[in-house]
Amino acid sequence: MRFVGMDLHDFCHRVETSFRVCTDDNVEWRLDRVIGARLWEWCCKPGVLLVANYDVELDMRWQAEQRKTTNASK
């Protein structure tokens, strides 16, 4: 996931749609801005996530497009 260009609202929404967020007693809940900000800060710490590489991203997109083209022609 890319966090550059996201604001806190977008980040919280992305986390909520990608993961089940719950408390210790297994009750689901929505990320509020305070917890979301702490989570975002932790995710953006150096060394926690891999550094984005534009060339790698472009290559992955190109490979995905090639797979789509190959599968569509079958």
pLDDT one digit per residue (tens) for the chain, 74 residues: 456 667 888 888 888 888 888 888 888 888 888 888 888 888 777 666 565 667 777 888 889 888 888 777 76
pLDDT of the residue at 24: 85
21, 27, 29, 65, 70 from 24: Cα distances, Å: 10, 7, 11, 41, 46
Neighbours of 39 (CB within 10 A): 16
Look-up of token digits 């490979």: 63
Sequence ranges of the domains in the chain? 8-73
Token pair listed for 30 = 């929505």
> Which SS3 state, helix, strand or coil, does residue 62 take?
helix
pTM of this prediction?
0.49
